[in-house]
Structure 1
Amino acid sequence: MRAATYQGPGEITVEDVPKPEVESPEDAVIRVTHTAVCGSDLWFYRGESDREEGSRVGHEPMGIVEEVGDDVTSVEPGDRVLAPFAISCGECEFCRKGLYTSCVKDESWSGENGGGQGEYVKCPHADGTLVRVPDRYADDEDTLESLLPLTDVMGTGHHAAVSAGVGEGDTAVVIGDGAVGLCGVLAAQRLGAERVIAMGHHEERLELAEEFGATDTIAARGDEAIERARELTHGGANHVMECVGAASAMDTAIAIARPGGTVGYVGVPYGVTEEGLDVFTMFSDNITLNGGVAPVRAYAEELMDDVLQGTLDPSPIFTKTVGLDDIDEGYRAMDEREAIKVLVKP
C-alpha cells in the first residue's frame, strides 16, 4: 500500500509500505477514504520536534472496515467508521473513566499500524476505539466531511470548552484561530455561551469564527490583544480556552482570565516548559488551569449526533483538499498558512 512518510524537516513523501494485517482477535483493518493533516503534524514537519526519518505519519483516519479479528463485536466488514487520534482499549482504568488518551495499552497509528495518512490502517483495539457511522450516512460525502473533524480537532475544541467550564449564558474567550480554535468557537456556542470572543492573527479565519458563532473578534497581538479582551469582558473572562500551545498563548490566557476563572487548555505545549508559566498570577487570582490532551473518544457519539441532526458542521475548517500523492502540498499549504486544515482523500 501507499502511505505518507516523514523524511526530514519539510519533506513528506509517499512510499510503498507493507499493508497492515489482522494479527490479534481484537484487530480491525480499515481502508482509509478520508484523513487530514493536523496542526500538530507541523511540529515535526518544521523540525521543531523529534521524529524518526522514514516513519509513517497521520492520526485522523476515517474509512471502511475491511477485516476484523474474531473477538471484535462492535463493527464488521463493510461498516463505515471514524477513528479518534488516540487508540484505546476501552477496558482499562483510564478508559473506563473516559480518559482514553491515557489508555495503558499506549498504541498509536504509526509504525506497523499503518499511519493515518495512508491507504490502510490497523486498529489494534477496534471495540474500544472505532466509532461506527450509521449506514444511511455511510456514502453521504457532505456528512462524512463534517464527521472527519471528530477524529481530532472538533473533539479537542470541545474539550477546551468543557475544561473551561463553558455553559449556558456564559462569556468565553477562545485563543487561537487554527482548526482547534475555530472548533472551540463552535463548541462554546454549542454549550450555550451567550458571548464568544475569538482571538487570532488572521482576518479571514476570524471571519470564519464569526460564521461559527463568535460574537466578537480580536486580531491584535501581545499586550494590545490582552487589553482589548479585558475591555470586552469588563476586566477578564471566567472561561478562557487556550487552543494554541505556545507559551505566549498560555500567558495571554492567564492574563485575561477573571479572578476565580478557569483556563481550559488543549494546545500541544511547545515552549511552555522552557519559558515557564505565570504561576503567581494564577495563585493570586485563584485561576484554575484545566485540560490537557483531549480524550476525543469520550465525546464522539454526542458530537456525531449533532452532526447527523444538522446542528453541528465543522467541515468549513477544510479549506484545501488533496489526494494522497499530493499530501506534501497539503503540508506546505498548512505550514505557510495558506490553508486552515487540509482534507486528504487517499
Structure 2
Amino acid sequence: MRATMLHGPGDIRFEEVPDPTISKPTDAIVKVIASCICGSDLWGYRGDNGPQEQATTIGHECLGEVVAVGSDARNFKVGDTVIVPFDHCDNTCIHCLAGNQQACVNLGFTGSGQGEYTLVNQIDGSCVKIDPPSPEQLPSLLTLADVMATGWHAAVAAGVRPGGTAVVVGDGAVGLLGVLSAATMGAEKVIALSRHEPRQKVATAFGATHIVAERGEDATKAVMELTNGTGADAVLECVGTEQSMTTAFDVARPGATVGFVGVPHGVKLPVRRMFTHNIGLAGGMAPVRRYLPDLLARVQSGAINPGLVFDLALPLEQVAAGYTAMADRTAIKVQLTY
C-alpha cells in the first residue's frame, strides 16, 4: 500500500510500505476513506521529539471501511464503515470501565492513518459503526477520531459548567474545538486566546464570546479584565508548551482546574501557585471511545459541526504540502481526501 512516512525533520514522503496484517484475533484492517493531519504530528515533523532512528508511518485520525477482521471479532464485519479512535481499547478492562480507555490494558494506536490501510487493535472495543457518510458530514465525523474528542476532554477535565467562565489557551484545531466544547457545555463566557484572524473567526463561530490576542503577561492582564479580576472558572490548555501552561495557571481563579490536552514538551508546573491557590490539573490523552457515542449523536443531529475546523483539503498524495501548510500556520487543519 501507499502511506505517509516521516523520514526526519521536514521530510514527509508518500511511498510504498508493506500492507498491514492481522496478527491477533481481535485485530482488523480498515481501508481508509478519510484522514487528516494532527497538530501533534508536527512535533515529529519539526524534530521536537528528539532523534529519529528510522522512518515511520504517521497519521492517527481516520475513518474507513473494514476489509478484514480477526477470528474473535463479533460486532463488525467486512464492509462496515467505522470511526477509528486513535487510541484503541477493548472497552471492557478495569480501566476502560472506569472511563480511562486511553489506559486500556490492551491499548493500541492507529499508526498509518495517513495511508490507504490501517491496522486496528481490539476492533470490537475501539470502533464505532456509522452509515457511509455524506460529503457534507464526513469532515465532522472525521474529527471524532481524535481532535473533537480531545477538545471535549479538555473541557471535561477543566470542569466547564453552565453559566461559568472558560478560557481556552491555544488556537490550533484542538483549542478551537475546545472552544466549541466549552460553549456546548453551557459556559456563559468563553475566552479564546488567539493571535490569528482566521482562527479568531472560527473561534467566534464555535461560540467564543471574547478574543484575547495578547500573549504572556499581557494575555493574563486581558483575561483578568474580562473576568473582573477573578480569573476563569475553567481553563483549557491545548498547546503543551511552557508558555501555554504558565498562562493557563496565571488566568485560573482560586479553586479552578486546568484541563490539559496539549502534548507536553519542556513543561514545568507552578506547584507553589497550585498549592496556595488550590488550582488543580487534570486531563492528558483523551479516552476517545468514552466520548464517541455522545459526540456522534451531536454531530448526526446537527447540534455541533466540528468539521468547520478544516480549512484546507488536499489529495492524500499531496500530504507533504499539507504538513508544510500547517507548520507554516497557513492552514489550521488539513483534511486528506481519497
TM-score normalised to the size of structure 2? 0.97
How far apart are 1:107 and its partner, in Å?
2.1
Structure-2 residue corresponding to 1:241: 236
Contact kept, 8 Å, 1:203 with 1:219, in 2: the verdict is no
Match of 2:325 in 1: 333
Alignment match, 1:19: 19
Query: Aligned residue for 2:81?
Result: 80
- Cα offset, 1:173, TM superposition: 0.7
Q: Give 1:139's aligned residue.
A: 133
- Residue identity in the other structure for 1:27: D
> Hey, what does 1:102 align to over in structure 2?
103
Q: Which amino acid aligns with 1:261?
A: A
* Contact residue 165 and residue 187 of structure 2 kept, 8 A: yes
| Structure-1 residue corresponding to 2:10 | 10
- Tell me how far apart the structure 1 counterparts of residues 296 and 110 of structure 2 sit (CA, whole Å): 22
Q: Which amino acid aligns with 1:34?
A: A
Tell me, in whole angstroms, the C-alpha distance in 2 between the residues paired with 1:123 and 1:32: 11
Distance 1:97 1:139 in 2: 31
Structure 1 residue matching 2:256: 3-state secondary structure: strand
User: What percentage of aligned pairs have identical amino acids?
Assistant: 47
Q: Which amino acid aligns with 1:299?
A: Y
Which of these residues, 244, 254, 268, is aligned with residue 259 of structure 1?
Answer: 254
Alpha-carbon distance between aligned partners in 1 of 2:254 and 2:99, rounded to the nearest angstrom: 29
Q: Distance in 2 between matches of 1:83 and 1:329?
A: 24
Distance apart, 1:178 and its partner CA: 0.5
Number of equivalent positions: 336
Question: Which residue number in structure 2 is paired with residue 122 of structure 1?
Answer: 119
Query: Could you tell me how far 1:315 is from its partner in structure 2?
Result: 0.8
Specify every segment of 5 or more residues in structure 2 that has no aligned partner in the other structure, as ranges: none
Q: Does 2:32 correspond to 1:32?
A: yes
Contact 2:32 / 2:63 at 8 angstroms: preserved in 1?
Answer: yes
Shift of 1:165: 0.6
- In 1, distance between residues paired with 2:236 and 2:119? 34
What one-letter code is carried by the residue in structure 1 that aligns with 2:299? V
Mapped to 2, the partners of 1:52 and 1:127 lie a distance apart of 34
* Secondary structure of 1:299 counterpart: helix
Q: Partner letter of residue 72 of structure 2?
A: D
Contact 2:31 2:116 in 1 (8 A): yes
Amino acid aligned to 1:104:
V
Please, which of 251, 266, 284 is the counterpart of residue 292 of structure 1?
284
- Read off the aligned partner of 1:289 and give its amino acid letter: L
Q: CA deviation at 1:9?
A: 0.5
Residues 182-197 of structure 1 aligned to structure 2 (within 5 Å): 182-197=176-191
Q: CA deviation at 1:105?
A: 2.3
Paired amino acid for 1:344: L
Q: Is the 8 A contact 1:200 1:219 kept in 2?
A: yes
Task: For 1:310 and 1:126, locate their aligned partners in 2 and report how far apart those are by CA, in whole Å.
Answer: 27
Distance 1:253 1:180 in 2: 15
Q: CA deviation at 1:282?
A: 1.1
TM-score by length of 1: 0.95
The match for 1:204 among 182, 195, 198 is: 198
Letter aligned with residue 34 of structure 2: H
> What's the CA shift for 1:108?
2.3
Cα separation, 1, equivalents of 2:255 and 2:69: 50
| Shift, 1:78, TM fit | 1.2
Whether contact under 8 Å (1:6, 1:52) holds in the other structure is: no
Structure 2 equivalent of residue 165 of structure 1: 159
Give the superposition deviation at 1:289.
1.1
User: Which segments of structure 1 move beyond 4 Å, counting only runs of 4 or more?
Assistant: none
Query: Structure 1: any 5+ residue segments left out of the alignment?
Result: none
Distance in 2, Cα, partners of 1:145 & 1:52:
34
- 1:139–1:156 CA distance, 2 compared to 1 (3 A): closer
SS of the residue 1:142 aligns to: coil
